[in-house]
A and B are shown apart, each in its own frame.
Chain A
């Protein structure tokens, strides 16, 4: 089970990794090493392919949803963020922005834990909902032509799924 600080760093590292790849730059060595320590290998990737990550949006990936809902996903996500007290840049359903929101929720859950346990739990529950409802489905359904990138995304998905299970267990045990 990750503690709140480790969880925050997990999502920050995923965000930093994907953002670096989307910008065509080398991910920071400490992010690479952190993920490798968690069993996710970060391979050398074709820069052109990796940059495509910056253009991925949930509305294009979530073909499991009705078209109308897909078209308005960015509004739903914006609304979700605002309800939690955040504003996200457009497109709110962009993959990078979604991972940033997950990271922010985790970071603030950790910080709130130092003095406001109620708020910390609220943020963690929001994170769980967000991961289950929005982020994981996007990552799982992401079609990636590049083998290395596919393995990477797969590894990230596994990490997030493991964390989702832990969060579920935490809140289930409580209730």
Chain B
């Protein structure tokens, strides 16, 4: 007998199970049918229904979407999101085009025809509706109403926000005074003091500063002389500036180190998820203030991957042509995630299932599909992919599966003769004489005494020659040469060095390091080599986000260099080319509108050389050891680092920061050991002003002083034109366009002078602050006409986001028309479609008629796209420009001459396997890396931490903002920890047992799922949960920190936010709210400030990932690029004795 009490109890327990049973409803519907149509079908056409083609932001792949908006009870509501059939990633679907969905529809198809077909789109893209309709969204400006991090907020007017951010404000509740941006707006200071053209002054100061650095570099200049020169510089400029009442300290951050730039550099902008044109617009603002600090979150994204690619090719974003390749080594990229994303990868899986491509899936976590055995799992130990690559390289070299003809062409000229638009430096000779000052450098004609041009030398025949003087050179050479100085030095070709590296261990030894069966390695090498050039590495963060990440990327990409598949069909490609959307008729770019002169290293020291700073020269000249530098410098890193930003702010190095503007970011939870950042975010002395631009108050924005409410990508958020990432499905030209689907749901603020409506957002914030400062690039005379085109000499205003973005679209369309992608005669139907469906059309009068019509053509298709078949030459090379330096490097001499700025030791200049290690030694006696630090396994031995913790994102979840995806939540409401079946057997763990995953930095508690789909020795967490702050706060009980415990311990009990400032959902019709939030507590979407457990459940592994003990425990980054190191975390597993029932159907990832 089942009692009622049991039923009630059971009902509560079964509630989440019941969700999944909806999958069986159709079986009932097949038996009991309505005699009449009870419910109206979804309206697809007609009054109150419209469609917008735009770009998805469920992740950063930039698939296209088509969004349907319907009017429900008089309110426009986003009803459905599906794929864009014009976009190459989406591929169209119709009744007669459902199998082998490789292609998109023809770009010139009319919008009315395109509406008749559907298109593929992943679950995240479809669930984007919940990103807009989020009860936790803030819609009005907020100011903190208590100490930093107290969670107390009050609503302020937009006008007050702008005024205080510019002029400074006071936190009334604590009495703290906050600075304003004007304090560091040096250009304005000079202008207001009466300097007619401040840029003349700044240019002259900069010139003098550069001259100082040049003199400091001269070994003949002594320390005393340098001091005199600096003193003279200071006296000169104090006098000139003093004539108008300005002090040198008002202009320069550090007058003793003028190479660090002006005080404007104390404004830092960092963005998390950014896309154009938000990127260009923010950069425009940062430059308008005069700062060099426009930063991106790339370290938590692709930075080590970029830096690794940069080394061997000179371009950072390169990936496989997955449509043309016959064999792929897919390493460190997740199926369902890596570009072209869950949507675009469908084509890859279909090709594999049809036997058209074989994929070696190198990953500690198994693929979701085997595609008839053509996706082969290669379960690799995290951080050891370079060992695998070198084993493959050894086999390829041994068996002759390399492209000798290409490798032996020593120059671009020679390579072009055999049909290649690039060459390699495989034959270039490298000085490998230990302790010689030229060690690691290319042997040059000057050094050898056979020329004066400083060009690299090769071995040709029996002698040596300048590399561009011969058509063919020796691939292998190792021997002594006599330099012009008379010294004898050992030289080797870059290929020889690489070969020695690859052969430094046997294949079996490499296999033992990486944990892969040698037979599988042999099979990979054979397939890869024999399919060349239609073989490629398809790699991403998983191999790069380790301390040794750049070397790993390079080792894998060496396989591509060996077969000469660069820039070719079926090989590896850069990004598709773009229209000139930023500067074709109107200069909407980040420069050329009168912005201030600026100079100095970025706060995170990327792309800057410590050894070329006055602070370095001063130490050297005084006889001091210049190492360690206070923090590392990264001269070969192309983009920016979270760790180094916050460590730089913390240590005021290389200079202090006054203002941080953080946009669409969450480094506290999104970074390995990101909780470390809380200590500096809370510190008002080190970070006097913190402005957040955001849709919700997350774990990072909890510490802000001001919050600017922002719009989402289905409103005006990140409007503009988006490039597609490396590979780009091979297209010659492809870019995705985003324009609003609905008007913003944030607070409406003052109209622009010509009456256009404006809404609180990222755009209007920068416009109003820029105008308040009187900065170039905003206001009446903001956008100049592009030189040598019709508007040259003219200026256009920016008083609203519409003024700017319409001109971006006009640029793009005109450029596409010139390239023949957009027709000269624009069909009226296409323009009408946009005018009837797109909110942006309300503002078409910003443009003349012809420009609007062209823009409408591209908007009607959600972008500009060309065909795969038209993207390659007859010889199979891409028609795009060759990215990078056109010399593919097996040895990078600049890297070989670059010192680690803490140890002073030079980096190794070629691809290689090094164990993951700290940046500098922690334990001098322990095993380590010659130019870096202590091996992580020496610090955290396997005997104590036998497992490695990693995570993965896939087609369901990708980032911590994925907790919004409620329809996906019904499939996987809560995550877990994946443990290998054999490991679980040894530990006595079964699915459902709650375990503690403990690292040296802390522990997380989660239920285990035992699976054969994760490699032995690895534990993995499906990413995207474990939140604790999202405008409401729920303390994260699943995590305990050993290091930085105060970050979580000192969280406030709750957030205090005015109800009037949140929740754009409350105005939606009741039926819409119930459909959006089925089975969720109604308080959640009524108040906007009630806790819904689905937003805060699950775990994230990030807090307990590693910091770097050699660098003050700041989150670990890669050695060369400063990319966050997420995937190498020694841990142990402890059983708790607790258990959690995990329904079988909800164990998906």
Contacts and interface: CB of A to CB of B under 8 A. Distances in A.
Interface of A: 1-3, 5-6, 8-10, 12-13, 15-16, 19, 28-31, 33-34, 37-40, 81-82, 85-89, 97, 100-101, 103-104, 107-108, 111, 113-115, 154-155, 158-159, 162-163, 165
B28 A12 contact: yes
B1071 A16 contact: no
Contact of A30 (B10, B35, B1078, B1144): B1144
6 contacts: A13-B21, A31-B21, A85-B38, A87-B35, A158-B7, A162-B7
Nearest to A99: B28
B495 to A, nearest CB: 57
Please name the 4 residue pairs, one residue from A and one from B, whose CB atoms are nearest each other, closest first.
A38-B10, A9-B18, A37-B14, A104-B32
A156 to B, nearest CB: 9
Contact of B11 (A15, A38, A40, A104): A38
A30 B24 CA distance: 10
Q: Could you say which of B17, B22, B29 has the most chain A C-beta atoms within 10 Å of its C-beta?
A: B17
Contact of A6 (B6, B14, B39, B1075): B14
Contacts of B2: 38-40, 155, 158-159, 162
B11 A97 contact: no
A5 B1077 CA distance: 13
Nearest to B1074: A114
Interface residues of B, number: 38
Contacts of A19: 27
A3 B7 CA distance: 13
B1073 to A, nearest CB: 10
Contact of A29 (B8, B10, B1144): B1144
Contact of A39 (B6, B29, B33, B1144): B6
B1074 A85 contact: no
Interface string B1107-1147: 00000000000000000000000000000000000011100
Contacts of B14: 6, 34, 37-38
Q: Could you say which of A3, A89, A115 has the most chain B C-beta atoms within 10 Å of its C-beta?
A: A115
B1143 A9 contact: no
B38 A108 contact: yes
Contacts of A103: 28, 32
A86 B810 CA distance: 56
Nearest to A19: B27
B1038 interface: no
Given A6-B14, A31-B24, A158-B7, 18 more contacts: A12-B24, A13-B21, A15-B27, A28-B24, A30-B17, A33-B1144, A37-B10, A38-B2, A85-B35, A86-B32, A86-B33, A97-B32, A100-B28, A100-B31, A154-B1, A158-B3, A159-B2, A162-B4
Contacts of B13: 37
A38 B7 contact: yes
B20 interface: yes
Contacts of A115: 1071
B474 to A, nearest CB: 66
B1079 interface: yes
A150 to B, nearest CB: 13
A137 B6 CA distance: 23
Given A86-B34, A101-B32, A155-B2, A9 B7 contact: no
A158 B31 CA distance: 25
A29 B1142 CA distance: 12
B36 interface: yes
A23 to B, nearest CB: 11
Contacts of A165: 4
Contacts of A81: 32
A118 B14 CA distance: 28
A160 to B, nearest CB: 10
B95 interface: no
A33 B10 CA distance: 11
Contact of B1075 (A29, A34, A87, A114): A114
B21 A100 contact: no
Nearest to A86: B32
B980 to A, nearest CB: 23
A1 B9 CA distance: 10
B24 A107 contact: no
A158 B6 CA distance: 11
A127 to B, nearest CB: 12
A82 B4 CA distance: 33
Given A30-B1144, A39-B7, A89 B31 contact: yes
Nearest to B1: A158
Contact of A34 (B18, B27, B34, B1074): B18
B24 A85 contact: no
Nearest to B31: A100
B810 to A, nearest CB: 43
Contacts of A8: 25
Contacts of B25: 8, 12, 107
Contact of B10 (A5, A39, A89, A107): A39
A10 B34 CA distance: 21
B11 A2 contact: yes
Contacts of B29: 104, 107
B79 to A, nearest CB: 14
A166 to B, nearest CB: 9
B220 interface: no
A88 B3 CA distance: 32
Q: Could you say which of A37, A89, A103 has the most chain B C-beta atoms within 10 Å of its C-beta?
A: A37
A108 B25 CA distance: 10
B21 A34 contact: yes
B27 A16 contact: yes
B1023 to A, nearest CB: 25
Contacts of B1145: 29-30
A13 B11 CA distance: 13
Interface string B1064-1085: 0000000100110011000000
Nearest to B30: A100
A86 B28 contact: no
A38 B21 CA distance: 14
Interface in B515-559: none
B487 to A, nearest CB: 76
